[in-house]
Structure 1
Amino acid sequence: MVTIKDVAEKAGVSVQTVSRVLNNRGYISQSTREKVHLAMEELNYQPNELARSLFRKKSNMIGLIVPKISHPFFSELAYFLEYFAYQKGYKLLLCNSNHDKSKESSYLELLKKNQVDGIIMGSHSLDVDEYINLQLPIISFDRILAEKIPYVASDNTMGGKLASQLLIKKNCRKLAYVYGGLGGPHHNALLAGGRLQGFKEEIKNTGIEFTTLKLDDSDSNLDNNVDKIVRFLQKYPDIDGVFTSSDVIAAEVIQACHQLKKAIPEEIKIIGYDDIGIATLMWPRLTTISQPIEKLGELTIDLIARQIEGEEVPLENILPVSAIERETT
């Protein structure tokens, strides 16, 4: 294995000089830099990134923990987080917790051992102290971890209000909210609960009835969720307007309606939440509450980068949402 000493001998300089070139510290003439880089290239020398990060006390890596990367929303979010992190000179280490406490805990240990500069938390299965004790910059996504940990989210409550306003405008008289993923020991920390809160607030005192259906987010079998929705719509055949907590669940509602031969939007109107790519691929094309996913990703990276540099950042960072009307309403 080629060592830094081999590079120094090849370039005709000291080991300290090679180290300064690698870590960009102190004055080094351009000709010396070129000799060192040429020696590294000829010897195919690969610097030890962990050793360099310990020397610089910065790894230029950010940990990202998500509950389920297979979910289209988190896939799109991770794409933008990686894009904007790279623009700022950082690389992402992606961890998929799958709502598993032991898995999330082991990933936190992994991120600490890899000397990440900060962590973006999109999953929350552990007690708050375990995050605080990391003593690292942390940004939480769509959930409140602790009073002093900043978070980024869309305006979930307004999203719920926009959905009910649109269904009321479309003359719906019996509404339903179909949701999933709000279970677990720390479900109260999830800001997505605001979607139901806003939905309920807007229909209060209107005389419009509404009911809810909670799906098991750990259930990876699409058919099981669709079957539950079919039974739900059979139990409440007069439901004519449905708001769902995600576009994925809205797609499952559409499948259930197809099975029951319920015409969309003539007999039943459906609104999703997120505005991910599949919203325009399904048929009918989905009316949804649009989260600005790209802007959420950009803001999250900006905040964690500023924290890493020692800046104070706002604790609450909420971006507006909008209603995008398509064929399901």
Structure 2
Amino acid sequence: MTTIRDVAKKAGVSVATVSRFLNGSGYVSADAAKAVTSAVDELKYELNPVARSLNTKQSNLIGLILPDITNPFFPELARAVEDVALTYGYTVVLCNSDENPEKEKNYLNTLKKKYIAGFIVTSNQLDAPHYANMALPIVALDRAINDKIPTVSSNNREGAAMGTNALLERGCKNILFLRGPNELNPANERYQGFMDAIEASGAKYHVVTCPFHFSESQKITDEFLKAHKEIDGIFASSDVSAAGALKAAVTLGIKVPEQLQIVGFDGIAMGEMLSPGLSTVAQDVYKMGAIATRVLIKRIENQPVDQHFYEVPVQLKLRGTTKGVAE
């Protein structure tokens, strides 16, 4: 196996010169750089990434911390992050926190020891000092952590108003809102958007806090619909919750969309696979992940970042769970 000494001998320079050139850690003359480049190509030398990380105290690894990879929204985010990172020569390490702050801290501490280059984080914590105080570059994705950390998210409030109005415009008079967890910024913003639309309409409504989990959403919706047969519309803070609501309605023999119309929020691919297809406020999930990755890499490479907060527009996609859509 070719070593750095072989490269130095071939190029006619010192090992230290080869190391400085390959790691970008000091001055190398133009002639020496040309000789090293030629030797590396001729000998097909590959720098050991572990050795490089020990020398530079930084690897080409990016940590991606997600709260729940069983929710289809997050694997779609991860795909975008991985695709873009690879084009810049970075590898993504996926970490599933299970919405547990202690697991998040453990991932941070463990990966820092591996000389991780930076982190993209989707955290359930409204304020997390262990992120703000880190020396490494961090970007918050989907959910803001604090004002010190760049954030990429969707226009949640406007999107929720859009989804609620879709139900109102199709004749819904009594709407159930499956509100996301109180500790999540996107859930709070979607609640505000729902209230903006519902209060302007004067329609009757109910709000129930609901986790972004299919089975729990199904159970909560099942119990509510049994007790409130007048409900004719459901707006859910996530597509997973909306899918649970659809399952509850079908199980109870309620016809969708004839008797009950449903709109979700996220725009994940799963929505098109349901029957009937799920109407949703679609986030541009891939764009969100791509922007977050590019911003992080700019910070890692000490390039200027043109803004601190990136808000990606949403789009209403009407399918079979709302009236007036042929499938």
Report the CA distance shift for 1:29/1:313 in structure 2 as closer, same or farther (over 3 A): closer
1:327 and 2:320 aligned: yes
Residue 199 of structure 2, aligned match among 196, 204, 214: 204
Displacement after TM superposition at 1:21 (Å): 5.8
In structure 1, the residue matched to 2:238 is 246
In structure 1, the residue matched to 2:62 is 62
SS of corresponding position for 2:202 = coil
Aligned residues of 2:153 and 2:311 also touching (Cα < 8 A) = yes
SS of corresponding position for 1:204 = helix
> For 1:320 and 1:153, how far apart are their aligned partners in 2?
9
In structure 1, the residue matched to 2:325 is none
In structure 1, the residue matched to 2:281 is 289
State the TM-score, normalizing by the size of structure 1: 0.86
Aligned residues of 1:50 and 1:114 also touching (Cα < 8 A) = no
| Structure 2: unaligned runs, 5 residues or longer | 323-327
SS of corresponding position for 1:116 = coil
1:128-185 deviation line (CA, Å, top 9, x unaligned): 32112212222112222222222111000001110111111001000011144x25xx
Report the CA distance shift for 1:257/1:15 in structure 2 as closer, same or farther (over 3 A): same
Aligned residues of 1:66 and 1:123 also touching (Cα < 8 A) = yes
Write the mapping of 1:29-44 to structure 2, written as runs, cut at 5 A. 33-39=37-43
Write the mapping of 1:270-281 to structure 2, written as runs, cut at 5 A. 270-281=262-273
Displacement after TM superposition at 1:224 (Å): 4.7
Aligned residues of 1:104 and 1:125 also touching (Cα < 8 A) = no
Write the mapping of 1:142-221 to structure 2, written as runs, cut at 5 A. 142-180=142-180, 182-183=181-182, 187=183, 190-217=185-212
In structure 2, the residue matched to 1:92 is 92
Residue 269 of structure 1, aligned match among 256, 261, 276: 261
Aligned residues of 2:265 and 2:282 also touching (Cα < 8 A) = yes
> For 2:139 and 2:117, how far apart are their aligned partners in 1?
12
Report the CA distance shift for 1:256/1:124 in structure 2 as closer, same or farther (over 3 A): closer
Report the CA distance shift for 1:20/1:38 in structure 2 as closer, same or farther (over 3 A): farther
SS of corresponding position for 1:164 = helix
Residue 227 of structure 2, aligned match among 222, 235, 240: 235
Report the CA distance shift for 1:214/1:11 in structure 2 as closer, same or farther (over 3 A): same
- Higher mean Cα deviation, 274-283 or 14-23? 14-23
1:300 and 2:292 aligned: yes
Aligned residues of 1:18 and 1:36 also touching (Cα < 8 A) = no
SS of corresponding position for 1:78 = helix
1:185-220 deviation line (CA, Å, top 9, x unaligned): xx15x2332111111111115331111222345x6x
Displacement after TM superposition at 1:310 (Å): 4.3
**Amino acid aligned to 2:106:** S
SS of corresponding position for 1:152 = strand
1:265-315 deviation line (CA, Å, top 9, x unaligned): 100000011111111111101110010112212221222222222424422
- CA-atom RMSD, angstroms? 2.6
Aligned residues of 2:18 and 2:36 also touching (Cα < 8 A) = no
> For 1:305 and 1:283, how far apart are their aligned partners in 2?
40
Displacement after TM superposition at 1:18 (Å): 4.4
Aligned residues of 2:62 and 2:120 also touching (Cα < 8 A) = yes
Report the CA distance shift for 1:256/1:33 in structure 2 as closer, same or farther (over 3 A): same
Report the CA distance shift for 1:29/1:140 in structure 2 as closer, same or farther (over 3 A): closer
| Structure 1: unaligned runs, 5 residues or longer | none
**Amino acid aligned to 1:238:** E
Number of paired residues? 317
